[in-house]
A and B are shown apart, each in its own frame.
Chain A
Amino acid sequence: MSTKAVIGRVVIYLILAMGALIMLVPFVWMLSTSLQTAHQVNIRPPIWIPIPAQWGNYSRILDFAPHFPRSFVNNLVVASIGTILELTTAILAAFAFSRLRFWGRDILFYILLATMMVPGEIMLIPNFLTIVRFEWLDTYRALIMPWAASILSIFLLRQFFLAIPEQLSYAAKVDGCRDFRFLWSIMVPLARPALVTIALLAVISSWNAFMWPLIVTNSPSMRTLPLALALFRGEAGTFFELLMAASVVVVLPMIILFIFMQKHIVAGVSRSGLKG
């Protein structure tokens, strides 16, 4: 390798390292703070490696937020069911909009797309009123149903389905395969990279959702994790070490999920193009 190439490499890695650092510092700070005493939290410059580590902060989460485990379960339920529903509706709708022929199909699709231009905040109140009419306030249904279908997901998946050659569906038909079976046995496995992306987006947005759970739930047992975090900010000030300990607990599942899914994302990208 020539000197010039070496220098080029070094520069590239420096830039990449800086990017990684910027991404990582908040997480490291969060972890570090979660292991400090209330006093250490306020020391400037900040302490990066607290000795001894205050693991007790993690058990003290429950003192301040006794419903924290329940909120964790709520998050799991809402995120998993919501994601499954979103995938289901996206798969079915994308198939209809890409493969089935029916009157007004494209116009209907463009109308759906147009709703993407409406900011989410505008839909907050109408959705809330609908939930109230259904008498769904303070239930899982209220937390899940408004997100059971996503136009963006339908759109993404439809584009992916359109790229799958028409002849594949002809071949499947000739092989004796009906529409639904074709969707399940051929289209869905082929669209796995797109489905992983959609699922990740759905899980993350559901896991982190704040505004909607805040307005449709009242009882502490129906609260989700982002709302539970708010409990650590009291009138007497914020308990940063506890808030950060709780935040670590909230973030951890997402990080684990990402590490696990990474394999699939990479597999999806490196998969050779659809040949035939």
Chain B
Amino acid sequence: MDVHLKGLTMAFDGHETASLFKRGSAPSKVIAVNNFSATIKSGEMVSLLGPSGCGKSTTLMLLAGLYRPTSGQIIFGGEDVTRIDAEKRGIGMVFQNYALYPHLTVRKNILFPLKMKKVPKAEANKKMEEMARLVQIEHLLDRKPGQLSGGQQQRVAIARALVKEPKLLLLDEPLSNLDARLRLEMREEIRRIQLKVGITAVFVTHDQEEAMSISDRIMLMRDGILQQECHPQEMYRKPVNIFAAEFIGSPPINMLDRDGQRVGVRPEHFTLSQEQDFFTGKISHLETIGRDTLIRVQSAENETVRTFVDGNTTLKIDDTCHLSVKPENIHRFNPATGERVGDA
């Protein structure tokens, strides 16, 4: 099912958050999502990426029907669902803190959406077991959520979201509460399950690496406005503005001023050269992490860049080095607007 968002806008009034005794402190109006238009294609995994407060979670809540948009339309397939309640949209959702029902066993948690749909018991049980097998929690069915680890709870949450065979799966920062190793594992799991079920999915995250690795497409947001929407590699190779360039990539892109333009070069695109070329400076910091060594180079003009050199390097702090870069790896931006310029 294709999902279309048309001019979606969500403004929060100040009084919605301010309580009786906290008058005057809250801002009067916040536009969390501003004229957001996009299409999510059937079977696709799309990431809504951006810093906190950029409106990505609000967009997800709008998709879920948990918020009513101020204006704009949400269309599922051919049907306008803008005014339809969350209960009737037939979507599955996974939350950051899992939001499992603490008093119910895993089995009953997964059965809950089917019970709401009044699916006959035998059929519901069959679906529940199928889903438990898919997310690999068959052995945990009689436990309560409190007796599970974070990763296991997340699997249960995914099973609960998928068991009613929704047309759209929404994931709200599903990995943020997990530790680093588990995060990697669950990231792959979510992708595996999504591909296996073939469901259209929207994944909200503030972690660019997560978005890059998991999704077919990334929608990058900032201050409620969609900045760029494309394949992850495309966003890495051709960021449309300074914000996109700086948000994607770790370590972050190096931004310099050259010829009246803002110029960005990714750390791995610098190469050491023998003579003076694009950038010259002294090494101010050097750290070796396994295969590579990350160096920070500071120029006489007090500009710094980060780059990688071979892990077996003989370079030391305070050594002078020259860095060159291929012209096609230089991103140029208009310093006033921040927009990308000068593409052939």
Q: Which residues of A contact B (CB under 8 A)?
A: 106-107, 110, 165, 167-168, 170-178, 181, 186, 189-190, 272, 274-276
B101 touches A186 (CB 8 A): yes
B116 & A107 in contact (Cβ 8 Å cutoff): no
Let me know if A106 and B99 touch, CB within 8 A.
no
Does B275 touch A at the CB level, under 8 Å? Answer: no
* Closest A residue to B166 using CB positions: A174
- Smallest Cβ-Cβ distance to B66: which chain A residue: A170
Task: Report how far A239 CA is from B220 CA in the complex, Å.
Answer: 85
A176-B87 in contact (CB<8A): yes
B97 x A276 contact (CB < 8 A): yes
Q: Which residues of B contact A110 (CB under 8 A)?
A: 20
> Could you say which of B20, B100, B102 has the most chain A C-beta atoms within 10 Å of its C-beta?
B102
Judged by a CB distance under 8 angstroms, whether B314 is at the interface is: no
Chain A residues with CB below 8 A from B117, complex form = 176
Contacts A106-B20, A170-B93, A272-B146 given; indicate if A178 touches B87 (C-beta within 8 A): yes
B19 in contact with A174 (CB, 8 Å): no
Known: A167-B95, A189-B103. A174 touches B64 (CB 8 A): yes
Tell which of A107, A170, A189, A272 has the most Cβ of chain B within 10 Å: A170
How far does the Cβ of A105 sit from chain B's closest Cβ, in whole Å?
A: 10
Knowing A170-B64, A275-B146, say if A175 contacts B160 (CB, 8 Å).
Answer: yes
Residues of chain A within 8 A of B101, CB atoms compared: 168, 171-172, 186
- The 4 A-B pairs at the shortest CB distance, nearest first, are namely A176-B116, A171-B99, A175-B113, A167-B99
CA distance A178 to B87 in the complex (A): 7
Which residues of chain B have C-beta atoms less than 8 A from A190's C-beta? 102-103
C-alpha spacing A171/B112, complex, angstroms: 11
What are 13 pairs between A and B in contact, CB < 8 Å?
Answer: A170-B61, A170-B64, A173-B86, A174-B87, A174-B93, A175-B112, A176-B116, A177-B116, A189-B103, A190-B103, A272-B146, A276-B97, A276-B153
Distance in angstroms between the alpha carbons of A175 and B113 in the assembled complex? 5
Q: For residue A192, which residue of chain B has the nearest CB?
A: B103
Given contacts A106-B19, A276-B145, A276-B153, contact A173 B99 (CB under 8 A): no
Q: Which residue in A174, A186, A272 is a CB contact (below 8 Å) of B91?
A: A174
User: Are A175 and B116 in contact, with the CB atoms below 8 A?
Assistant: yes
Q: Complex formed: what's the CA distance from A165 to B102 in Å?
A: 11
Closest CB-CB distance, A164 to chain B, in whole Å?
9
Measured between beta carbons, the chain A residues less than 8 angstroms from B170 are 174
- A106 vs B21: C-alpha distance when bound (angstroms): 10
Flag if B98 contacts A276 (CB, 8 Å).
Answer: yes
Q: 17 extra interchain contacts, Cβ-Cβ under 8 A, other than A170-B66, A175-B112, A175-B116?
A: A106-B20, A107-B20, A165-B99, A170-B64, A170-B86, A172-B101, A173-B85, A174-B66, A174-B93, A174-B161, A175-B164, A176-B113, A177-B112, A276-B98, A276-B99, A276-B102, A276-B153
- Residues of chain B lying within 8 A (CB to CB) of residue A186: 101, 103
CB neighbors of A among B78-114 (8 A): 85-89, 91-93, 95-103, 112-113
Whether A173 pairs with B87 at a CB distance below 8 angstroms is: yes
Q: Report A-chain residues with C-beta under 8 Å of the C-beta of B89.
A: 174
State in angstroms the CA–CA spacing of A177 and B99 once bound together: 14
List residues of chain B with CB under 8 Å of any chain A CB. 19-20, 61, 64-66, 85-89, 91-93, 95-103, 112-113, 116-117, 145-146, 153, 160-161, 164, 170
Given contact pairs A272-B146, A275-B145, A276-B97, A177 touches B102 in the complex (Cβ within 8 A): no
Shortest B9–chain A CB gap in Å is 20
Which chain A residue shows the least CB distance to B146?
A: A272
**Nearest Cβ in chain A — how far from B160, in angstroms?**
7
Q: Nearest B residue to A178 by beta-carbon distance?
A: B87
> Which residue on B lies nearest to A110, using beta carbons?
B20
The distance in angstroms between the C-alpha atoms of A165 and B177, with both chains bound, is: 15
Q: Please give me the residue from chain B that is nearest to A189 by CB atom.
A: B103
Q: Which A residues are CB-close (under 8 A) to B164? A: 175-176
Q: Are B100 and A276 in contact (CB under 8 A)?
A: yes
Complex Cα spacing A194 to B86, Å: 29
Please indicate which of the listed interface residues B97, B117, B161 has the most CB atoms of chain A within 10 Å of its own CB. B97
Contacts of A181 in B (CB 8 A): 116
Evaluate contact between B20 and A170: CB separation under 8 angstroms.
Answer: no
Nearest chain A residue, comparing its CB with the CB of B116: A176
Q: Which of A168, A176, A186, A274 has the most CB of B within 10 A?
A: A176
| CA distance in complex: A176, B118 (Å) | 10
The smallest beta-carbon distance between A175 and chain B, in angstroms, is 4
A168 CA to B93 CA, complexed, in Å:
11
Set B66, B88, B99: member contacting A168, Cβ < 8 A: B99
Q: In the assembly, what is the distance between CA of A177 and CA of B112, in Å?
A: 9
- Give the distance to chain B from A4, nearest Cβ to Cβ, in Å: 38
- Is there an interface contact between A275 and B116, defined as CB atoms closer than 8 Å? no
CB-nearest residue of chain A relative to B118?
A176
With A170-B66, A171-B95, A175-B113 as given contacts, are A274 and B102 in contact (CB-CB < 8 Å)?
yes
Residues of B near A189 (CB, < 8 A) are: 103
Q: Which residues of B contact A178 (CB under 8 A)?
A: 87
Interface centre among A172, A178, A181 (most CB of B within 10 A): A172
Question: Which residues of the partner chain A approach B116 to less than 8 Å between Cβ atoms?
Answer: 175-177, 181
Bound-state CA distance A175–B95 (Å) is 13
Q: Which residue of B lies closest to A173 (CB)?
A: B86
Q: For the complex, what is the distance from the CA of A186 to the CA of B100, rounded to whole Å?
A: 10
Taking A190-B102, A275-B102 as contacts, is the C-beta distance between A173 and B112 under 8 angstroms?
Answer: no
Shortest beta-carbon distance from B34 to chain A in Å:
23
